[in-house]
Amino acid sequence: SQLNGNSPLKPRYVHVNTLKMDVDSAVQELGKLYKVQKDETVPDLLVMPPGSDLHAHHLVKNGRTFLQGKGSAMVAVALQPEADWEVIDACAAPGNKTINLAALMKGQGKIIACELNEERVKRLEQTIKLSGATNIEVSHGDFLGLNPEDPSFAKVRAILLDPSCSGSGTITDRLDHLLPSHSADNKNYDSIRLHKLAVFQKKALAHALSFPQVERVVYSTCSIHQIENEDVVSSVLPLASSLGFELATPFPQWQRRGLPVLAGSEHLLRMDPEEDKEGFFIALFTKTSKLENSNS
């Protein structure tokens, strides 16, 4: 069906887990079944024709590759963690971006993967096990409950924040809005839900920025809504700048940027459901080395 995320028109993406396999071997192996190309934006991401079905492929079953959409695969790359850093993945399950971080860090350094939901912690642990990464520590609990002043976070240099969102960037959700059953009651429910999500998203982003040694924070959603994207960024900008952060430009060559509703929207990255076949949003904050810069 074209109404679900498995639309036959949507290219398939496979992320090579470079902890277990090199990209050229994956291209060769998957190329026996389908036409495979390297993605032009994300290293280690392979693009295959719409309809390619790899769920049962041995390279997916054994964790040498993971099925992951392009927007999702861009987030850890935008963060650019160095191999020996300590990094927090704040809302981690099922762990796709956690293992992207592990691969980018070449299995070195340390990743603290925080997840609130007990069932989803199990999925996170399964993903980590399948990936073969050994530098990930799972923290079962509320990210907002982590104390930034706790000495155990003193060396954390980067945070990836991919909080719960409406998921409105997926095709299914978008088309739901066109169905007759989408009544005024539903719309009211949607707006209350979006508001609640945005309240958490803002709190979580402000919390991420408050870890003392953190110099890079990436915020992402698979939502198309301004309230979960630009508005969240806009609300934390005063705090961010008082802490010495500014917006940086992830993937500068990417054409589609944030909605022009705040100063600096050109730094933000959007994927468009029509153009890119999925809706996605990424914002990157980086700390300028001297606080005086922001005061001068």
Contact residues for 250 (Cβ-Cβ < 8 A; gap 6+): 74, 77, 78, 218, 267, 269, 282, 283, 284
- In the complex with ligand SAM, which residue's Cβ is closer, 85 or 280? 280
Burial class (CB in 10 A: 0-12, 13-18, 19+), 188: exposed
Q: Shortest CA distance to 199 belongs to which of 148, 158, 163, 157?
A: 163
Position among 22, 53, 84, 142 found at the interface with ligand SAM (CB under 6 A): 142
| Site for ligand SAM contains 140 (CB under 6 A) | no
Residue 222 annotated to the active site: yes
- In the complex with ligand SAM, which residue's Cβ is closer, 143 or 245? 143
231 known member of a binding site:
no
- In the complex with ligand SAM, which residue's Cβ is closer, 117 or 183? 117
Record the tokens describing residue 260, joined without a space. Answer: 């022009």
Nearest-approach distance from CB 73 to ligand SAM, in angstroms:
9
276 known member of a binding site:
no
Binding track over 152-181 against ligand SAM, x by CB under 6 A: ----------xxx-----------------
- In the complex with ligand SAM, which residue's Cβ is closer, 77 or 244? 77
- How far is 29 from 257, CA to CA, in rounded Å? 35
Catalytic residue among 222, 243, 268, 271: 222
92 known member of a binding site:
yes
Report the run of H or E that residue 186 belongs to, with start and end.
helix 184-209
Burial class (CB in 10 A: 0-12, 13-18, 19+), 132: middle
Q: Shortest CA distance to 221 belongs to which of 168, 293, 294, 182?
A: 168
93 known member of a binding site:
yes
Binding residues: 91-97, 115, 142, 162
The residues of the shown chain that bind ligand SAM, judged by CB under 6 A, are 72, 91-97, 114-117, 120, 142-144, 162-164
